[in-house]
């Protein structure tokens, strides 16, 4: 019989957050596929577990999935872990899980910690519905599109960001959503220096400008009011924005023109301008 692929959530920092079921699985499986074997070795040593550790991360060769599937198909159980949180959620793992399912291998989730739900639960923002965008591209049209999507979403938006790029993300969100929009920066979740900072986007930009924080960062953006994302009526807004860019105006100036001169809601103006080539 084929083995089972266990997708195991591991602590963000506090080892006490590991579930009893996850600990049992990690002690029993003969193989653990780990994002960083050195990092995972510490957790396994803490548990007194001694499986074979195999490196599996975003840059692993394609042959690594094939070799793990061979082990599973030969009867070995394999536990998939990332450095922290739930594998496959902005972490490696999706391709291995998909390959295992395609091969008819049983896949079992061992749920537990996730930075997304941990941040939402303590943010004070609505979590009835939320949009998770993970890490945004560093620049370009796709980044602008996703920032506009975040600004227009009527539910709480959750993003990940590195400390050095946090200020730039907050500035982009303020430009798209307006500086008065409420947001939360959650830092070092479950660790000794855990911190939640709440404020408007303008306040958070000022707080982190020139003073990047340390540690793992999760950003939560309050959902937009429906009135803020209603399309404006009147002139052909796409044509107006196209004309401004053709005349040499920057995208920022084109957004400002649509907002200040034509009365377009900022979110809608940003969406129109960033969608243009």
Whether the per-residue pLDDT at 221 is higher than 80: the answer is yes
CATH code assigned at 102: 3.40.1010.10
User: What is the reported pLDDT for 32?
Assistant: 98
Same domain, 16 and 105: yes
Same domain, 166 and 186: yes
Q: Which two tokens stand for residue 23?
A: 């600990």
Write out pLDDT tens, residues 20-32.
Answer: 999 999 999 999 9
User: Residue 163: pLDDT band by 50, 70, 90 thresholds?
Assistant: very high
Element (H, E) at 246: helix 237-246
Element (H, E) at 34: strand 31-34
Whether residue 198 contacts residue 236, with contact meaning beta carbons closer than 8 Å, is answered with no
Write out pLDDT tens, residues 85-97.
Answer: 999 988 889 999 9
Task: Using the 3D structure, point to which of 113, 130, 147 is the last residue of a domain.
Answer: 113
Task: Using the 3D structure, point to which of 53, 78, 113 is the last residue of a domain.
Answer: 113
Give CA separation, 172 vs 122, 188, 211, in Å. Answer: 24, 23, 17
Whether residue 156 contacts residue 222, with contact meaning beta carbons closer than 8 Å, is answered with yes
Same domain, 32 and 107: yes
CATH code assigned at 212: 3.30.950.10
Which 3 state secondary structure label does DSSP give 177?
A: helix
Residue 87: count other Cβ atoms within 10 Å of its Cβ. Answer: 27
Of the candidates 49, 11, 17, 15, the residue with the CA atom closest to the CA atom of residue 32: 49
Q: What's the number of domains the chain is made of?
A: 3
Q: What is the CA radius of gyration of the chain?
A: 22
Structural domain that includes position 53: 4-113
Whether the per-residue pLDDT at 141 is higher than 90: the answer is no
**3-state helix/strand/coil string of 97-150:** HHHHHHCCCEEEEECCCCHHHHHHHHHCCCCCCEEEEEECCCCCHHHHHHHHHH
């Amino acid at each position: 019989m084929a083995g089972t692929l266990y997708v195991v959530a591991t602590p963000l920092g506090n080892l006490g957050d590991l579930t009893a079921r996850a600990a049992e699985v990690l002690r029993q499986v003969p193989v653990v596929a780990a994002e960083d074997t050195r990092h995972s070795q510490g957790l396994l040593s803490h548990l007194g577990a001694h499986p074979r550790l195999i490196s599996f991360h975003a840059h692993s060769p394609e042959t690594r999935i094939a070799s793990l599937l061979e082990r599973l198909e030969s009867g070995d159980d394999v536990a998939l872990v990332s450095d922290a949180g739930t594998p496959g959620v902005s972490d490696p793992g999706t391709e291995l899980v998909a390959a295992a399912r395609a091969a008819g291998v049983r896949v079992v989730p061992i749920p537990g910690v996730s930075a997304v739900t941990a941040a939402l639960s303590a943010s004070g923002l609505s979590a009835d519905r939320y949009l998770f965008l993970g890490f945004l591209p560093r620049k370009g049209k796709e980044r602008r599109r996703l920032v506009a999507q975040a600004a227009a979403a009527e539910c709480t938006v959750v993003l990940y960001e590195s400390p050095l790029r946090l200020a730039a993300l907050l500035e982009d969100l303020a430009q798209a959503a307006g500086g008065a929009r409420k947001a939360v920066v959650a830092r070092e979740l479950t660790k000794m220096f855990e911190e939640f900072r709440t404020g408007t986007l303008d306040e958070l930009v000022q707080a982190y400008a020139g003073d990047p924080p340390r540690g793992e960062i999760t950003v939560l953006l309050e959902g937009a009011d429906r009135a803020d994302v209603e399309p404006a009526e009147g002139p052909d807004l796409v044509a107006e924005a196209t004309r401004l860019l053709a005349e040499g105006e920057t995208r920022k100036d084109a957004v400002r023109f649509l907002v200040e001169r034509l009365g377009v809601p900022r979110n809608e103006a940003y969406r129109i301008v960033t969608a243009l080539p």
